[in-house]
Amino acid sequence: MTDAIKIEDLITGTGKVAVKGALITTHYRGWLEDGREFDASYHRGKPFQTVLSSTKVIQGWFLGLQGMQVGGKRKLWVPASLAYGERQVGDMIPANSNLIFEIELLEVLTRDD
């Protein structure tokens, strides 16, 4: 895998656009390249909410979710350099892991709301 993120829109949303600094609400699943799921908000029974910022999420999410619209579902292939790099994360994500996410954008709140 290169150091570039790959983005595929599975469903194109029609709602508000995710922009840098917005509060976003998502449901997601994350896998390693070998197909092992390492995390999913669906299993917790509640969506994941965060600010779309380079300091709050991995670079792959920061870059890959900007421009996505509410109601959309997007698949991201994130190279290790835009994920956790040389850091191991817990027991599930080894160092230098390329990650795959499927993300459903549920809500976008901006400072103007």
Give yes or no: 58 in active site.
yes
pTM of the model: 0.94
From the candidates 5, 58, 100, 103, give the one annotated as an active-site residue.
58
Give yes or no: 62 in active site.
no
Give yes or no: 38 in active site.
yes
Residue 56 pLDDT class (50, 70, 90 cuts): very high
Structure confidence by residue, pLDDT tens digits, 15-40: 999 999 999 999 999 999 999 999 99
C-alpha closest to that of 83 among 70, 74, 92, 73: 92
Total residue length of the chain: 113
From the candidates 39, 93, 100, 103, give the one annotated as an active-site residue.
39
Write out the H or E segment, with its range, that includes residue 41. Answer: helix 41-44
Give yes or no: 84 in active site.
yes
CA 107 to CA 92: how far, in whole Å? 28
